[in-house]
Amino acid sequence: MGFFSLPHVENSLRRIRVFHEGVYLVDSKNAKLVWLHADYPYYWFPESELPKDYLKPTQLGNKDVTIYDLVLGSQSREPQEVIRHHHTGKLTGLFTIEFDKVDMWFEEDEEILVHPKDPYKRADVLQSKRHVRIEVNGVEIANTTSPKLLFETSLPVRTYIPKTDCRLDLLKPSTLKTSCPYKGEASYYHVQTPSGLVEDIVWWHPITTLDILPIKGYVAFYDEKVDVWVDGVKQERPELKE
């Protein structure tokens, strides 16, 4: 999105529904995709679709923005930023709902996770015959000649390996779970080595989006924390970003 000035607003052709506490707060065919930063967009809606029956203004707003708390069900909340309704600037007459403060979002009939996808980014899975070996603390954990490579716009290439080409006896289930709008839900493994347990450095997707369905059930290693050889050449570890 570096070629647009921010905030950038585009019409969405998708029906967007926001579900919370047993009701649809919004059911819109007039949604906007709004980029407030370059990483990904948010959904915004025209003020005519404000769910007024479920809103209570907070003391956090000003003449430019009204901030609402949701009044729904028996759950009590301290005033918080749930809905922002803008009155000035490029976002005049639009409101947005904090994505993670409601129960579910749908594009058409498909649930979306974490945030809307950026239509200018994509994820591609390619079958490869590269020979990939992975060691953790000097112990070989994976060795395959049939990896699948995941290419995502602006992100490092990730290598997904069949579980049967891994030392399954050294993979210990973790309780960590994460979600991604492009890939779906991920579960994690620790790796047990003679020198100790290395936590949460392997993940896999028991549930995937259609775009990356070929990697369902395969595992990926956190390349920033393991040693990787590709076709016999040891790879430099990518920079670790916390």
Confidence of residue 72 (pLDDT cuts 50, 70, 90): confident
Residue 148 has pLDDT above 70, yes or no: yes
pLDDT of res. 60 = 77
pLDDT tens digits, one per residue of 160-211: 999 999 999 999 999 999 999 989 899 999 999 999 999 999 999 998 888 8
Confidence of residue 129 (pLDDT cuts 50, 70, 90): very high
d(CA 165, CA 173): 17
Query: What does the pLDDT average to over 114-131?
Result: 94
Residue 9 has pLDDT above 80, yes or no: yes
Query: What does the pLDDT average to over 108-117?
Result: 94
Residue 1 has pLDDT above 60, yes or no: no
Q: How deeply is 89 buried, as exposed, middle or buried, from its count of CB atoms within 10 A (0-12, 13-18, 19+)?
A: exposed
Q: In what order do the strands lie in the sheet with 104-107?
A: 23-28, 16-20, 104-107, 110-112
Place of tokens 């979306």: 112
Average per-residue pLDDT for the chain: 91
Domains and CATH numbers, the chain: 8-112 (2.170.150.40), 123-234 (2.170.150.40)
The reported pTM is 0.81
**2-11, 118-127, 151-160: least confidently modelled range:** 2-11
pLDDT of res. 2 = 54
Question: What percentage of the chain reaches a pLDDT higher than 90?
Answer: 74
d(CA 97, CA 191): 39
pLDDT of res. 77 = 53
d(CA 224, CA 242): 11
pLDDT of res. 177 = 95
pLDDT of res. 61 = 75
Residue 187 phi, psi (nearest 5): -115, 160
pLDDT of res. 75 = 54
pLDDT of res. 223 = 95
Nearest to 82 by CA among 92, 72, 74, 90: 72
Residue 130 has pLDDT above 70, yes or no: yes
Nearest to 165 by CA among 186, 199, 134, 205: 134
pLDDT tens digits, one per residue of 53-70: 998 888 777 889 999 998
Confidence of residue 78 (pLDDT cuts 50, 70, 90): low
pLDDT of res. 16 = 98
